[in-house]
Amino acid sequence: MALIVQKYGGTSVADPDRIHAVADNIAITKRRGNEVVVVVSAMGKATDNLIALANSVSSKQPGREMDMLLTTGERQTAALLTMALADRGVEAISLTGSQVGIITDTEHRKAKIIEVKGDRVRAALAEGKVCVVAGFQGVSTAKEITTMGRGASDLTASALAQAMDAESCEIYTDVTGVFTADPRIVPQARKLQKIHFDEMLEMAGAGSKVLALRSVEFARNHDVPLHVRSAFTWEPGTWVTNEEASMEDPIISGVVTDMTEAKVTVFGVPDRPGISAAMFEPLADANVNVDMIVQNTSTEGTTDISFTMPMADMAHAEEIVSRVAGEINATGVSHDNDIAKVSLVGAGMKSSPGIAAKMFRVLADESVNIHMISTSTIRVSVVCAAGDMERAARSLHTAFGLDSGADYSAPLPTRK
Ligand code: ASP
Ligand code: MG
């Protein structure tokens, strides 16, 4: 008998019809002889609606009260789904994060998991029941209800899968798996059958929205295989695992596009020790997630510093940057929302040189002007004009052999 954790995202449980479809799938999984732990998100846009409600009554929104509010979304789904299971003769019980013993730190709205007790899950499974757990939430060491950040139901699922030593963790969503590119931008994109955690992490970091970054981190660190799949077509999706790539695997796994960042440039920054710290420490303290940073070499004692950050944090960051720019005697600040980030991700890069060079050649041939570049061992990212993003992504997808299913292999290094 296998223990399977199934997580259903917001679109998968958005209305009563969807809840019926999901209940059918759980019933089938159970009747096949599996033990099933289900983790649910809030229905459709329920969390956004709760946040909008809070905005309309309060500008302060104390974290504790926001968590009391936001956790109701997942609780609603859990109770409704459990009722639908009862109609199907499937014995089930809904449980909150607190009831299953997901213990977190005390940081409201972005709490971190400290421990998963899971006693009530074990007890319910022993009685032959399906457990339906409200995702995204826990209880703090100070006994307060907490939430773990937007999209954190994925994290609940991987944490429970690890705590229960599940055979696998299925993440049901509205796409059929992880693709070589966003199919809305690159129509030739293909679904990947499998991908390594490290690549999935880089993709999430580069702006892919399929899985929440923290849940991938957690699953990788605890070696919980994830199966990302559709709750609409129910077809097999993409496995995310620790399995090492084989020789036959393509060097590049995907092209990731991201339009959610903005670029800030600070001009005429004095070139002396401590300036970068003075600029980026206050941004870090304000929780602004700075991504790429480029500093030019100085001419006549001053330099320009550019960096990217989420557009959503702009209003907040703008004040900080202007204030610091004044303090350090920089000559000016500009920002540009009209940018996009295009990244190539592939574990094969480690052993095959020349990927970045080929990428730049492809972009040059498409007349895409590169504003910034950053790399990791398995990723190369560039920032370009937003209007160039689609062309850049499509041409890279083709050039690296992702369109046809043909694998791109770098030319072998020539022996001297
Ligand atoms: N409902 C929460 C959100 O929208 C958590 C989740 O869906 O994973 O962020
Ligand atoms: Mg979600």
212 Cα to the center of ligand 1, angstroms: 10
In whole angstroms, what is the distance from residue 128 CA to residue 130 CA? 7
Least confident of 86-100, 119-133, 240-254: 240-254
* Residue 324 predicted with pLDDT over 90: yes
pLDDT band at 416, cuts 50/70/90? very low
Q: Which pLDDT value is given to residue 246? A: 73
* For the chain, percent of residues with pLDDT exceeding 70: 97
Nearest CA to ligand 1 atom 8: 151
Residue 357 maps to a domain? no
* Residue 281 predicted with pLDDT over 60: yes
Q: Residue type for 11, please?
A: T
Residue 99 maps to a domain? yes
Q: Which pLDDT value is given to residue 409? A: 55
Average pLDDT, integer, range 366-372: 96
Q: Which pLDDT value is given to residue 343? A: 97
Residue 137 maps to a domain? yes
Q: At 295, which helix (H) or strand (E)?
A: strand 293-295
In whole angstroms, what is the distance from residue 200 CA to residue 178 CA? 9
* Residue 128 predicted with pLDDT over 70: yes
* Residue 62 predicted with pLDDT over 80: yes
279 Cα to the center of ligand 2, angstroms: 33
Give the structural domain span for 158: 3-173
pLDDT band at 404, cuts 50/70/90? low
Count of domains observed in the chain: 1
Residue 83 maps to a domain? yes
* Residue 138 predicted with pLDDT over 80: yes
264 Cα to the center of ligand 1, angstroms: 30
CB 173 within 8 A of CB 383: no
Tell me, using a 6 A CB cutoff, whether residue 11 lines ligand 1: no
Tell me, using a 6 A CB cutoff, whether residue 47 lines ligand 1: yes
Q: Is 223 left (phi over 0), alpha (psi -120 to 50) or beta?
A: left
Residue 111 maps to a domain? yes
Tell me, using a 6 A CB cutoff, whether residue 10 lines ligand 1: yes
Q: Which pLDDT value is given to residue 340? A: 97
Residue 388 maps to a domain? no
> Which of 7, 12, 47, 102 best tests ligand 1's pocket when mutated (most atoms within 8 Å of CB)?
47
Q: Which pLDDT value is given to residue 286? A: 87
- CATH code at position 160: 3.40.1160.10
Residue 340 maps to a domain? no
Residue 132 maps to a domain? yes
